[in-house]
Amino acid sequence: MSSSDQYAVFGNPIRHSKSPEIHAAFAAQSGQNMVYRTHLVDDGMFAESAGRFFDNGGKGLNITVPCKVDAFQFADSLSDRARRAGAVNTLALQDDGTIYGDNTDGAGIVRDMLENLAWEMTDRRVLILGAGGAVRGILSPLLARNPRHIVIANRTVEKARLLAREFSELGEVRGCSYEGLAGSQFDLVINGTSASMMGDLPPLSPELLSETACCYDMMYSAEPTPFMRWAASEAAWAVSDGLGMLVEQAAESFCIWRGIRPNTGPVIEQIRASLNKPTG
């Protein structure tokens, strides 16, 4: 019997990662002979650790914080979306022995919104909260869906404006402060800040939401995040966390590695159920 192909997720911290459970489900569903593990990467050790993984027969890696820029620098070749994002979350060994880098985050959020949630993006007024690496990774695929415009709001306004300028050739996108949102209204609001992890919320006015506004938090947890609770209390038409994005970006990675697109619906349900299980 042939040995299993080796895959892993690299990051720090890493124990909380749902990626092994997700990819095990994909492999079982599609009959793939593969093993997927977590790997804690010490500070400054990404290149050495990744090099050793591939030298020892590894086929592909997922990359999470804080290693996505390290992975970008490690790759021998890059997809256009990875180059735009300036970060890589997927590394794949090629037939010629080189390492290909991609960023599947934006494809994951777009697929979750379009396929799983049935949200429309074309001609929608989109607001994105935050201007960090997570937001950078989703801008190109979102702009490819032809929204009417995208506004990036951030506490440090210059960071938002700089990011908007970098992507302005792909569509109408501008940056502003949270105060600069006054008088504007949006059909889709995406929380790309880490505020939800801290139990915090950016300063938002309920007037930002149109009558059919959808609100999406890129974070996920067993309980609704503060952003999701705010959106629901202000009568957003639909509200979602980022669990579907997590599974969809993983499916995109799986497709890059194995040439098969898994059925994500049952896996999203499986991971959601595992989040809600009591511990202890």
Task: Say whether 277 counts as a known binding-site residue.
Answer: no
Cα three-residue angle 244-272-254, rounded to 5 degrees: 45
Task: Say whether 132 counts as a known binding-site residue.
Answer: yes
8 A C-beta contact, residue 11 and residue 17: yes
Task: Say whether 134 counts as a known binding-site residue.
Answer: yes
Task: Say whether 239 counts as a known binding-site residue.
Answer: no
What the block records as the tokens of 109 is: 């959020």
Task: Say whether 213 counts as a known binding-site residue.
Answer: no
Locus of tokens 């503060």: 226
Task: Say whether 80 counts as a known binding-site residue.
Answer: yes
Task: Say whether 249 counts as a known binding-site residue.
Answer: yes
Selection from 55, 22, 20 nearest residue 35 by Cα: 20
Task: Say whether 251 counts as a known binding-site residue.
Answer: no
In sequence order, the 6+-apart residues with CB closer than 8 A to the CB of 17 are: 9, 11, 38, 64
Locus of tokens 């049935």: 118
Task: Say whether 131 counts as a known binding-site residue.
Answer: yes
Q: Which residues of the chain form beta strands (DSSP E)?
A: 5-11, 34-40, 60-63, 77-78, 90-93, 99-102, 125-129, 149-153, 173-176, 186-191, 209-217, 238-240
Task: Based on the residue annotation, tell me whether 68 is a catalytic residue of this protein.
Answer: yes
Rounded to an integer, what distance in angstroms lies between the CA atom of residue 227 and that of residue 219? 10
Q: Residue 128 forms beta bridges with which residues? A: 152, 190
Task: Say whether 19 counts as a known binding-site residue.
Answer: yes
Task: Say whether 218 counts as a known binding-site residue.
Answer: yes
Task: Say whether 38 counts as a known binding-site residue.
Answer: no
Selection from 246, 227, 248, 223 nearest residue 236 by Cα: 227
Task: Say whether 157 counts as a known binding-site residue.
Answer: yes
Rounded to an integer, what distance in angstroms lies between the CA atom of residue 27 and that of residue 17? 17
Task: Say whether 180 counts as a known binding-site residue.
Answer: no
Residue 114 Cα distances to 70, 117, 154, 225, angstroms? 31, 6, 26, 22
Task: Say whether 85 counts as a known binding-site residue.
Answer: no
Residue 274 CB burial class (10 angstroms; 0-12, 13-18, ≥19): exposed
Of the candidates 22, 26, 67, 68, the residue annotated as catalytic is: 68
Residues in the annotated binding site for NADP(+): 80, 130-134, 154-159, 218, 242
List the binding residues for shikimate: 17-19, 64, 89, 105, 220, 249
Q: Extract the annotated binding site.
A: 17-19, 64, 80, 89, 105, 130-134, 154-159, 218, 220, 242, 249
Catalytic residues: 68
